[in-house]
């Protein structure tokens, strides 16, 4: 092990976590790319990854269900692989720490979303949007009023001079 063993101990847990995070979505960098970037050996990264896996932390390819992938990341994967051949998908999966059947499952899941839920969600978003617009208009009016008052005060002060000094 020699000097590298010592080097590993010098890396803070925060840096280690940040380094491991680069292997996960949304970055999905390869082990070799992260190793070069961080100046850490690939062996060390694979080590850390298996340690993290053992501790139950989300790591690329940690489990076959990969439920820790957020919906946006899954959708990105579906889109990125849509035009790929089976061979290319297999290579893509190896790079991302995924399984081809996972992508197939995600595709199915996206296709099976019932449209009724979408309408309800859309209504909810529109309602929130309306409330936010009302709130914004109210705040803009209040701001305009405050600005007008300040202008009036200044004009009155200029007109009467600062003599009374009540302010």
pLDDT in tens, 39-69: 888 888 888 888 877 776 666 544 444 566 7
The reported pLDDT for the residue numbered 163 is 57
Composition of the chain by helix, strand, coil, percent to 5: 70, 0, 30
Q: How far is CA 18 from CA 8, 12, 54, 56, in A?
A: 15, 10, 18, 17
- How far apart CA 17 and CA 52 sit, in angstroms, is 9
- How far apart CA 42 and CA 133 sit, in angstroms, is 51
pLDDT-derived band at 4, boundaries 50, 70, 90 = low
The reported pLDDT for the residue numbered 9 is 58
Is residue 73 scored above 70 in pLDDT? yes
Task: Give 153-166 pLDDT, tens digit per residue.
Answer: 999 999 988 655 55
Q: Find out whether 89 and 103 touch, Cβ atoms under 8 Å.
A: yes
The reported pLDDT for the residue numbered 119 is 76
Nearest Cα to 25, choosing from 54, 66, 86? Answer: 66
Which residues, other chains included, contact 97 with Cβ-Cβ below 8 Å and sequence gap of 6+?
23, 59, 60, 61, 62
The reported pLDDT for the residue numbered 64 is 41
Specify the length of the chain in residues. Answer: 167
Q: Sort residue 84 into left (φ over 0), alpha (ψ -120 to 50) or beta.
A: beta
The reported pLDDT for the residue numbered 134 is 92
pTM of the model as a whole: 0.32
In this structure, what token pair is assigned to residue 62?
A: 């940690």
Task: Give 80-116 pLDDT, tens digit per residue.
Answer: 898 888 889 889 888 888 888 888 888 888 887 665 5
């Amino acid at each position: 092990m020699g000097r590298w063993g010592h080097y590993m101990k010098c890396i803070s847990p925060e840096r280690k976590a940040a380094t491991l995070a680069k292997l996960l979505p949304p970055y999905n960098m390869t082990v070799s790319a992260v190793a070069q970037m961080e100046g850490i050996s690939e062996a060390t990264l694979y080590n850390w990854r298996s340690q993290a896996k053992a501790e139950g932390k989300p790591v690329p390819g940690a489990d076959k269900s990969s439920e820790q992938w957020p919906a946006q990341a899954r959708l990105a994967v579906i889109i990125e692989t849509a035009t790929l051949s089976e061979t290319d998908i297999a290579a893509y999966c190896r790079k991302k720490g995924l399984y081809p059947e996972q992508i197939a499952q995600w595709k199915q899941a996206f296709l099976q979303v019932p449209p009724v839920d979408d309408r309800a969600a859309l209504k909810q978003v529109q309602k929130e949007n309306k409330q936010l617009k009302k709130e914004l208009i109210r705040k803009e009016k209040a701001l305009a009023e405050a600005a007008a008052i300040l202008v009036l005060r200044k004009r009155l002060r200029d007109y009467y001079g600062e003599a009374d000094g009540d302010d």
